[in-house]
Amino acid sequence: MIQEILELNREITKKEPHITGCPSNNFIRAVEKKNKELDQVLLSIFKEQDECTGPAHFSRENTWCWGGPTPLWGGSMDMDTSVKGAKYFGFDNVVYLHGPVNENAMKLHSKCKKILCALSGIGRSAGAQPESDTETAENLSKLSLEYKNIKGGIIDDLIQSYGRQYSCRDIENIYNALKKYNSELDLYAVVYAHELDLPSVKAFEPFIDCVNLWFWLRTDLADMDLTVEKCRHVFPGKKIMMGVFMHDYGLGAIGNTDRIIESQLKRARQLLAAGKINDIVILGDREIAKYPDTAKSIKKFFVSEFRQNIAEGR
């Protein structure tokens, strides 16, 4: 439409030159229809931006704890460490990584309302998963027939692994294997804010059901709204789960402060209410012992969120 208006302007100006900034009545009549159409498009966009189509507060339905057994990053090898982390924060849902994806693991997570399981070997504890990623996806698909709380699988660090560990065909195979026995399962992928401009992102888009969006560089949080809009553009119609780091792995190599995390959580709440994100996940279980005060602050925030949901009858 923009190009149409510009071309129309040029054509009319050739026939009837006028002073720039002082259109004649004939010029106005000639371009008025197209400009009104453009105004309607803009007004519909403004209306959509103003509408609150999502829940006003986070609930136990859309909050997750990220974790699993690992000796790295100050983690724990307890097989139920992710369950303990979720219980601490008051969450019902777990993004389970690092450990094996098998029946024993699913039994340990059977009381979780929802669980996503890692499909990739990235970050997996040594010896935990002898199967390939595609085999793991197929196994999870089969397990979901018995364990109804399994909602999908997740590939960690997908974009940065492109060309080194994954091809598009690999992701397509994992996607198809995950849905082999249960087409309702979703494939999530970790995507970082700074990766959204990379051409490889679009190559994976057809096989990603939901985006797990993280801000690897703490400075990228300043552009949170823009990043979410960019993510919605790159992955149109896909759900977004926003990730929150308690430890600043990408830049400062120290714990994120309570004020930074609280600011991200509050802004995420606004994006949730606007219908622009769907879930939030806290990383995670291994950080609770490392940053107890920060963990308490996060827990306090979500206790308040859950209470307000109950008070508002949501």
Which CATH number is associated with domain 63-311? 3.20.20.80
User: Which pLDDT tens digit goes with each residue over 237-281?
Assistant: 999 999 999 999 999 899 999 999 999 999 999 999 999 999 999
For residue 111, what pLDDT is reported?
97
Residue 212 main-chain phi, psi, to 5 deg: -100, 100
Q: Is residue 162 pLDDT above 80, yes or no?
A: yes
Q: Is residue 309 pLDDT above 90, yes or no?
A: no
Q: Where are the domains of the chain?
A: 2-50, 63-311
Report the chain's terminal Cα–Cα distance, integer Å.
Answer: 41
User: Which pLDDT tens digit goes with each residue over 41-91?
Assistant: 778 766 766 666 788 999 999 999 999 999 999 999 999 999 999 999 999
Task: Say which range, 103-107, 234-238, 309-313, has the weakest mean pLDDT.
Answer: 309-313
Residue 216 and residue 194 in contact, taking contact as beta carbons nearer than 8 Å: yes
Written as six digits, the tokens of 256 are 């994120």
Per-residue pLDDT band for 165 (boundaries 50, 70, 90) equals: confident
Residue 270 and residue 57 in contact, taking contact as beta carbons nearer than 8 Å: no
Looking at residues 10-28, what average pLDDT do you find? Answer: 70
Q: What is the CA radius of gyration of the chain?
A: 23
pTM: 0.86
Task: Say which range, 6-10, 81-85, 284-288, 310-314, has the weakest mean pLDDT.
Answer: 310-314
Provide the β-strand partners of residue 244: 282
Contacts of 2 (CB under 8 A, 6+ apart): 38
